[in-house]
Amino acid sequence: MKLRSVMIGAGCLLAACTPAPRSSPSPAPMYDLIIRGGRIVDGTGGPWYRGDVAIRGDRIAAVGLLPGARARDTIDARGLIVAPGFIDMLGHSEYPLLRDGRAISKITQGITSEITGEVSSVVPVNENTLRELAPATRERVTWRDLDGYFARLEQGGTAINLGTFVTLGTVRRYVMGDANRPATPAELEQMRGLVAHAMRQGAMGFSTGLIYAPGSFASTEEITELTRVAAQYGGGYASHIRSEGDRLVEAIQEAITIGERAGTWVQIHHLKASGQKNWGKMAQAVATIETARARGVDVSADQYPYTASGTGLDAVIPNWAHAGGTDSLLARLRQPESRARLREELAGGGTDWRIGTSAGGPSGVMIASVSTDSLRRYQGMRLDQVARLRGQEVVDAVFDILLADRANTAAIYFSMSEDDVELAMRQPWVSVGIDAGARAADTTVQGRPHPRAYGSFPRILCRYVRERRVIPLEDAIRKFTSLPAARVGLAERGVLKAGMYADVTVFNPQTVCDRATFEDPVQTSVGIEHVLVNGTPVLRGGRPTGKLPGRGLRRGSHSPRYVAWLPQLRHSAHHRDSLFR
């Protein structure tokens, strides 16, 4: 018995010492795509670090060093910067994307999302709003509300995501046409309902273009009442303010007052100091905004990195002449009495309306594009050149071109200083809005658009980050990504973080640059290597893929995972570890 017991014990001991059969190791997770070995600038403003970005479906699945991770597809990002997709805070692609969803001029800048709706918006829609659209655009309008527009956009396909404000100009035109008078109580109540409907369907807020009819006819009080409606749904107030020149500070104060009274945030579009006599006034503009922020008003702005602006040639026409819409404006340009009044105001009246005053005179205004074939020879010419060619005074040349082109002429105004552009750029609350819609990059492009349409974001990375060192790279990326995302409540975009939507831009920090010029603007930028929208490459090796994975963007609240990184945003313009320091 004793021997048997010993043998049993030995057997037990042997069994205890023999390793159990090993189970097979779990395979590394399989991702759809991994961006490997890049220098990650994650959008928060923090310093770069080296790592990988793994994507599954339309989401970022992991960020960091992932040496054993497997994927069906790989992008080699060694030597490149990997950043969140850039967000254009002021574009005009709502209709261009319906014609051509590829958005070539956007994706070649690294743009993955755009916010639109400044002077006009895609909603609300009725005969009043349709009347002011070009015939080809009018034919594409098959919707009546924002849900309908987003369905139409996604049905046709878009390479970028798009969100929109609802605008004063369109709401007022829907209810009142282009009447130059205060809204009645009944009209104001109808407009409140229209704003509320758009906000319920995801509009980013309420926006105004206050140098353009019919929005220019509204009082501060009327705008405040409509902004209060947007505020009830978490939306803010965005504005192309009433003056960007002589009364710049007063116009900024009006925007601040509207937001403060309505109890919401304020976004000032394309912040600038326009007109040579106003150069240097950016310092006052910045101080005015900083004072408001110090007392708790949430005010921010966007800009484009050029010293010239772009808008319609009809912007030189005094406000009163726009009452009633385009047909009424053209009738006044034909009618001898009103034409004589306009000639007097433009040629020798108030300085606000002298042609090209902000640009130093007619020689500072360039015809960018026209819609009438017989006028195409003027594209790229300055107004003084056009007048000499036509044998007319400048004011009469402007009137007759507007008549022949049904007020569809676009112009570029060379009116800002480089010092003011750089001062605005240094402000931590200034994001980027290129103020241009998506365009193609081939012979189908007509006219000479503002080069900002093709070059804005790469221009900042090239000229203001790498060459002039106005701001460090990490801060530029924050301005392109998390800052605008936080502004309009895109809770799951703007930062490279697991769980966020996979909007990613990969670029070469040493070669990225704009090529578009005022003389030759239809040139895409260089150095943007790869762009992903919702996890799908729309630009690969610098070439468009033709994929259309973009979506409609709706205003959202800050989700818990979004709030987690918001306090980490660096607002200093002096980071310690910039790639270009």
Q: What SS3 string covers 431-486?
A: EECCCECCCCCCCCCCCCCCCHHHHHHHHHHHHHHHHCCCCCHHHHHHHHCHHHHH
Query: Which residue's entry shows tokens 């943007």?
Result: 528
For the chain, which residues score pLDDT lower than 50? 1-18, 349-353, 557-581
Torsion of CA 569, 481, 90, 202, to 10 degrees: -90
Amino acid identity at 486 = A
Helix H or strand E segment including 497: none
pTM of the model: 0.89
Structure tokens at 271: 């912040």
Query: Which residue's entry shows tokens 């326009």?
Result: 274
CA separation for the pair 302, 245 (Å, rounded)? 17
CA separation for the pair 108, 516 (Å, rounded)? 12
Crossing angle of the two packed helices 336-348 and 394-404, in degrees rounded to 10: 130
Cα distances from 19 to residues 7, 24, 33, 261, 271, in angstroms, run 20, 15, 39, 74, 72
CATH topology of domain 166-268+271-301+416-424: TIM Barrel (3.20.20)
Crossing angle of the two packed helices 220-232 and 248-262, in degrees rounded to 10: 40
Strands (E), 465-542: 504-507, 528-533, 536-540
Please report the DSSP string for 60-79 in residue order: EEEEE--TT-EES-EEE-TT
Tell me, what's the pLDDT at 360?
80
Query: Which residue's entry shows tokens 């552009």?
Result: 421
Is the Cβ–Cβ distance between 96 and 82 less than 8 Å?
no
Assess whether the previous peptide bond of 124 is cis (omega < 30° from 0): yes
Crossing angle of the two packed helices 394-404 and 383-390, in degrees rounded to 10: 90
Is the Cβ–Cβ distance between 159 and 110 less than 8 Å?
no
103 CB neighbour count, 10 Å cutoff: 29
Query: Which residue's entry shows tokens 């005094």?
Result: 318
- Which CATH architecture is the domain 27-164+433-467+475-581 placed in? Roll (2.30)
Tell me, what's the pLDDT at 236?
98
Cα distances from 437 to residues 117, 343, 398, 433, 532, in angstroms, run 11, 33, 25, 11, 20
Nearest to 161 by CA among 234, 236, 84: 84
Q: What SS3 string covers 403-419?
A: HHCCCCCEEEEECCCHH
CA separation for the pair 418, 422 (Å, rounded)? 6
Find how far residue 149's CA is from the centre of its chain.
19
Is the Cβ–Cβ distance between 316 and 356 less than 8 Å?
yes
Torsion of CA 393, 327, 437, 279, to 10 degrees: 40
CA separation for the pair 330, 402 (Å, rounded)? 8
CA separation for the pair 314, 330 (Å, rounded)? 10
Domain coordinates in residue numbering, the chain: 27-164+433-467+475-581, 166-268+271-301+416-424, 320-414
**Backbone Cα Rg of the chain:** 27
